[in-house]
């Protein structure tokens, strides 16, 4: 499940729009205002744990601000953007297999 929020930072006319998705060992995120995609690793303590929205926001923003993230080829879209994501675009990048499964 994706989580969306706005930091309120003035990067475009809408502020700074963020989208994140928690996976097993990391959080994928997209800064839709600045067109930056990344991945924040989850420590062993957080892996497999259900994170609350404020925890996701804090983990992403703290690591993003410090540059403690890896670049990602995967873009997460806001619900309002209404873009059809095709999982086959990410085959071979480690995100999904040839059947579109993570």
Average pLDDT, the chain: 82
- Residue-range domain boundaries for the chain: 2-78
Three-class secondary structure assignment of the chain:
CEEEEECCCCCECCECEEEEEECCCEEEEEECCCCEEEEEECCCCCCCCCCCHHHHHHHHHHHHHHCCCEECCCCCCCHHHCCCCCHHHHECCCCECCCCCC
For position 84, what pLDDT does the model report?
Answer: 55
Average pLDDT over residues 58-77: 93
Indicate whether this model's pTM tops 0.85. Answer: no
Query: Residues 21-65: pLDDT tens digits?
Result: 999 889 999 999 999 999 999 988 787 788 999 999 999 999 999
């Amino acid at each position: 499940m994706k989580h969306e929020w706005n930091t309120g930072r003035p990067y475009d006319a809408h502020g700074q729009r963020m989208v994140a998705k928690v996976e097993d060992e990391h959080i994928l995120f997209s800064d839709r205002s600045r067109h930056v995609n990344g991945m924040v690793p989850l420590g062993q303590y957080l892996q497999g744990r259900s994170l609350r929205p404020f925890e996701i926001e804090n983990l992403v923003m703290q690591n993003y601000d410090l540059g403690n993230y890896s670049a990602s080829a995967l873009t997460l879209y806001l619900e309002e953007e209404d873009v059809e994501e095709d999982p086959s675009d990410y085959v071979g990048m480690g995100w999904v297999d040839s059947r579109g499964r993570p």
